[in-house]
Amino acid sequence: MHGLEIYPDTLSPQHCQQIINLFNNDDRRTIGTTADGIMNDRKKSTDIYCNFDDPQFIEYNKLIAPAVLSMTNKIKEQYLFLDYCDYWKVDQWYNIQYYGDGEGYFKAHCEHSSVYPHRMLAWMIYLNTAECGTEFPYQKIKVRALQGQGAMWSAAWTHPHKGVTPNIGDKYIITGWCVFNRPTARDVPLPDALPYETSQWNSHYL
């Protein structure tokens, strides 16, 4: 286990192409940004910032949400502690990104930071088979950009990553996060113990 998991065929080719077509005809496309704003020396892309809770993005959400749920269920089966570490959920925000020839996410970065302190997992789905994938230097892994292939990994500093750059040709991806999200008594009845204090976890051995 290295905290980076690959899930082939997370989206069908038909759904991938449908999302690409929606993206290419969407006037909400904008210059891609980083946590520090527009930084073309770090990242050069065209993005749409989407929200699973916003009906404006229903055409995207109805295709993408089931795929992300499938990946989260799989990674919880592989890393049982995820069911016990704390309360968390798929973040409502996600990005659809296009990288053209010579573009890319040039600098290694991680998804957890002082700007985004609640991120605990990151996810990505490739919408087309592209020449250049994603590099994880500490894991010594280059993930291939294969249509429909998903990936999930730890958002922490242990998993810096970057695009294989400069990008060659067209690359379309979707990317988002899972975040810690402790409920309050106003949301749901709170349990007597936090997940990592339960008898189920205390009787489980890693």
DSSP string, 139-170: TTEEE---TT-EEEEE-STT--BEE-SS--S-
- The CATH code of the domain that includes 27 is 2.60.120.620
Is residue 189 a part of any domain in this protein?
no
> Rounded to a whole number, what is the distance in angstroms from the first to the last CA of the chain?
12
- pLDDT-wise least confident of 8-17, 38-47, 69-78, 95-104: 38-47
Q: Is 93 within 8 Å of 151 (Cβ atoms)?
A: no
Q: For the segment 143-197, what is each residue's pLDDT rounded down to a tens digit? A: 999 999 999 999 999 999 999 999 999 999 999 999 998 766 555 555 555 565 5
Query: Is 77 part of a structural domain of the chain?
Result: yes
Are 126 and 173 within 8 A, CB to CB?
Answer: yes
pLDDT, mean over the chain: 90
Question: Is residue 187 in some structural domain?
Answer: no
Domain enclosing residue 73, as ranges: 4-182
- Helix residue ranges, H only, the chain: 13-24, 58-78, 199-202
The alpha carbon of residue 148 and the mean position of all alpha carbons in its chain are separated, in whole angstroms, by 14
Q: Which pLDDT band, with edges at 50, 70 and 90, does 36 fall under?
A: confident
Q: What's this model's pTM, rounded to 2 decimal places?
A: 0.89
The fraction of the chain above a pLDDT of 70, given in percent, is 88
Domain count, the chain: 1
* Whether the predicted pLDDT of 129 surpasses 70: yes
Residue 106 has which token pair? Answer: 């040039």
